[in-house]
Structure 1
């Protein structure tokens, strides 16, 4: 949100997806993208998807959260979004890095 307001590029290094909380606590609404909001509500996102994304064996849930963040970036005017991975990938199961270019 701060990068968006400043019209700046943004790097997102997610950590504990299961620690996401509702907008009354942090100021964010989930899902982040309008697309995913058509498919699930905030309670489903926080109680099911984000907690599943912290399960090391549930790569698809983590990927869906990164996809949601990427779509939010596109919806908010970021011209290019790249998914990077830390090297070596084995350094951590939470190796995704999102780069959003304004």
Structure 2
């Protein structure tokens, strides 16, 4: 064999070793990632679930506030109507009292 044959074989051998080394390293990285993936996904799912629960709670509180406001508005209008009716009755009582206190001449 000539020197160039040895150089070619040596280059192929070293390239082959380097590729195997890189391949093994990448397989180890992929294995580590694959092992960590379920845990990462679980953490992300837990975070998503918590944020959904918080948002649902916030929406429920907002709806309750709106319902309370609507109920209070309805009650306020009922109170206003009752107060107006009472005021009308008071005016009629005042008029009646005036008529009683001032006999017809």
Query: Normalising to structure 1: TM-score of the pair?
Result: 0.21
Structure ranking higher in strand proportion: 1
Query: Which protein is bigger by CA-based radius of gyration?
Result: 2
Higher relative contact order (CA 8 A, sep 6+): 1
Query: Normalising to structure 2: TM-score of the pair?
Result: 0.21
